[in-house]
Structure 1
């Protein structure tokens, strides 16, 4: 479908979305095609590789992979992962992936595979009881970062240069001090994201202000900027997504069911130095965001109460689906997948 045609059907579909949640898809517009996974795990980790290949990571130590567009999913979890909470996964093709488990102390771990999940290498097991790892990102198939909530007053960053087989803690002197109560939300694997060879962003909440940190040197030094999204123990920036080194969106809100989430989206056009509230944000809390690559101004946002599209680089959003998802990811070619509670996984059809 052409970009102009997609715009038209989304506008028409937005007028047809029921006022109450329950309908999966607005008729006539883009739609999520559910791909049954055979599990009730909650998937907050998702890596879209292509139209045919995607990886999921979720509760109960679950890792799934499809290589046929979601017709079937294979359980490829590490053998010792039972009970772990996987919240992020990065995949480079059908064979190579790195998965992150969250939690206090040794519950935070990173595994890597190079044979499609038949075998895994435990590359990192947290040995600091004060650390709690949330998210992970990769610049290429070898170089990546993962982040922990503040340890001794600063967010902690670990890095890998060998596709997750080994990790080291980066010096903290280049990281600004955290605010009292500040942390990141491990809700979609998108509180730490990168674009290009060196740029990386870290999104936060929990404190008096929600903020986005930025590093232009792969995590060695950072700057930080306030965002206009509300912040509290249950509010903040849950996900950031960048189409290039300057243009990005931030989404979030209050994750508690039934709570209002006004002003839950913002945009930047200067790499995250400043953020502006969306003119028409999603109506409710959103935990994940992605740029599909159909056109420079198009982005997606998802959450437990629905999915939204923007054709204005995040300034205005239109809901097109009311199904529940926690995370969304798109390939450079524009193949998009979403995943969430009760084993839900889907491909986007336009």
Structure 2
């Protein structure tokens, strides 16, 4: 979809700030520090009170009215009225689970991932708006720890675990999350010592199109991004310029198409510098280049919708940033803390984080 078509589609659908503001900004133009008012879109987060104190690191934006959030303490929320009201819709046996990812297809169908060692890692599925849930997967391997999941379409999806026997483990579903199977590991490159995924935003595993999927890591001697062109059966891997340590690496990736991608991360510890918090690729993840002006601090969440052209959003505990040039330069527009961000097809963008904070982007 080109920018002209996107503008018309979003206007007809009543698209929110990401469509109306970012797409209205000059294409491929980065805001000038000397004259931000001439180029910077005017938008900001509008908080939608949830009445819940959980930390919501999992988020799925369906449209401007419907969104799902998954968080700590076994909390799963859903709104169908643009955030005016939220309903607790968690599985009944989920008390105490740490939900870190949710993939939603509409107001009724969603899949949530709980993280943790052993059987704390689980995947649940609902087809009736959270009134009932089925347990699609319960981890029975104490060595596995699942971090993120993604879907290619309503039926086919993947979930990733930290390395088991020296390689990242991949789960696959072909029935919308009702059942899962472990994929063979022969096509997975060996993990580095200490390498793992970060379950910080549900975006360490992302898909684009019907077959491409990317996986982000850190913790080892290098931060890396893995890429599969066959739905997780075989993988290649590339190093990124982002720092890597036990507390740093790539936390989220987003791809506008099969070639153009952005990675964000840094060091999640409060007060720690993250001078290289973003990188870009133009070749599907084979090579990565550091952003020339990255976000000033660690960022955990990222969204880059195909319809937005070169415009993308990143969020973290210390603020939110936007780019108008495909991730090369970033500018902060909000100082409130969020962990993850997601944009729907109608242009509505949502963010969520600690203390029950959920917001929708508005002008």
Q: Same-fold call, TM > 0.5?
A: yes
Structure 1 residue 28: Cα displacement: 7.7
Structure 1 residue 119: Cα displacement: 0.2
Paired residues, what number?
A: 341
* Structure 1 residue 266 corresponds to structure 2 residue 313: no
Q: Secondary structure at 1:212's aligned position in 2?
A: strand
2:4 counterpart residue number: none
After superposition, the Cα gap between the structure-2 partners of 1:137 and 1:3, relative to the gap in structure 1 and judged at 3 Å, is closer
Structure 1 residue 5: Cα displacement: 4.9
Residues in 2 aligned to 1:5 and 1:16: alpha-carbon distance in whole angstroms: 15
2:309 counterpart (296, 319, 322):
296
1:305 counterpart (314, 318, 323):
318
Please give the per-residue CA displacement for 1:125-179, whole angstroms capped at 9, x wherever unaligned: 0000000000000000010000000000000000001111100000000000000
Please tell me whether the aligned partners of residues 13 and 29 of structure 1 are also in contact (alpha carbons under 8 angstroms): no
* Structure 1 residue 157 corresponds to structure 2 residue 143: no
Looking at both structures, which has the greater relative contact order when contacts are Cα pairs under 8 Å and sequence separation is at least 6?
A: 2
* Structure 1 residue 331 corresponds to structure 2 residue 341: no
1:321 counterpart residue number: 334
* Structure 1 residue 254 corresponds to structure 2 residue 248: no
Please tell me whether the aligned partners of residues 101 and 109 of structure 1 are also in contact (alpha carbons under 8 angstroms): yes
Structure 1 residue 4: Cα displacement: 6.9
Q: Superposed, which structure 2 residues align to 1:32-111 within 5 Å?
A: 32-111=45-124
After superposition, the Cα gap between the structure-2 partners of 1:12 and 1:348, relative to the gap in structure 1 and judged at 3 Å, is farther
1:208 counterpart residue number: 221
* Structure 1 residue 119 corresponds to structure 2 residue 137: no
Residues in 2 aligned to 1:28 and 1:274: alpha-carbon distance in whole angstroms: 30
Question: Which aligned segments of 4 or more residues in structure 1 are displaced greater than 2 angstroms?
Answer: 1-8, 10-17, 292-295
Please tell me whether the aligned partners of residues 64 and 348 of structure 2 are also in contact (alpha carbons under 8 angstroms): yes
Structure 1 residue 340: Cα displacement: 0.2
Q: Secondary structure at 2:185's aligned position in 1?
A: coil
Compute the RMSD of aligned alpha carbons. Answer: 2.0
Structure 1 residue 6: Cα displacement: 4.1
Which has the higher mean CA deviation after the structures are superposed, 224-233 or 332-341?
Answer: 332-341
1:170 counterpart (160, 163, 183):
183
* Structure 1 residue 221 corresponds to structure 2 residue 230: no
Please tell me whether the aligned partners of residues 23 and 311 of structure 2 are also in contact (alpha carbons under 8 angstroms): no
Q: Secondary structure at 1:131's aligned position in 2?
A: coil
Please tell me whether the aligned partners of residues 13 and 28 of structure 1 are also in contact (alpha carbons under 8 angstroms): no
* Structure 1 residue 345 corresponds to structure 2 residue 358: yes
Structure 1 residue 30: Cα displacement: 1.0
Please tell me whether the aligned partners of residues 118 and 145 of structure 2 are also in contact (alpha carbons under 8 angstroms): yes
Query: With structure 1 as the length reference, what TM-score do the two structures score?
Result: 0.94
Please tell me whether the aligned partners of residues 56 and 356 of structure 2 are also in contact (alpha carbons under 8 angstroms): yes
Please tell me whether the aligned partners of residues 6 and 29 of structure 1 are also in contact (alpha carbons under 8 angstroms): no
Residues in 1 aligned to 2:114 and 2:249: alpha-carbon distance in whole angstroms: 22
Q: Secondary structure at 1:106's aligned position in 2?
A: helix
After superposition, the Cα gap between the structure-2 partners of 1:315 and 1:171, relative to the gap in structure 1 and judged at 3 Å, is same
Please tell me whether the aligned partners of residues 292 and 335 of structure 1 are also in contact (alpha carbons under 8 angstroms): no
2:248 counterpart residue number: 235
Q: Secondary structure at 1:65's aligned position in 2?
A: strand
Q: Secondary structure at 2:355's aligned position in 1?
A: helix
1:24 counterpart residue number: none
Query: With structure 2 as the length reference, what TM-score do the two structures score?
Result: 0.91
Structure 1 residue 201: Cα displacement: 0.3
Unaligned runs of 5+ in 2: 1-19
Residues in 2 aligned to 1:13 and 1:77: alpha-carbon distance in whole angstroms: 45
Please tell me whether the aligned partners of residues 6 and 30 of structure 1 are also in contact (alpha carbons under 8 angstroms): no
Please give the per-residue CA displacement for 1:246-299, whole angstroms capped at 9, x wherever unaligned: 101000000000111011100001000000000000000000000145531000
Residues in 1 aligned to 2:356 and 2:296: alpha-carbon distance in whole angstroms: 25
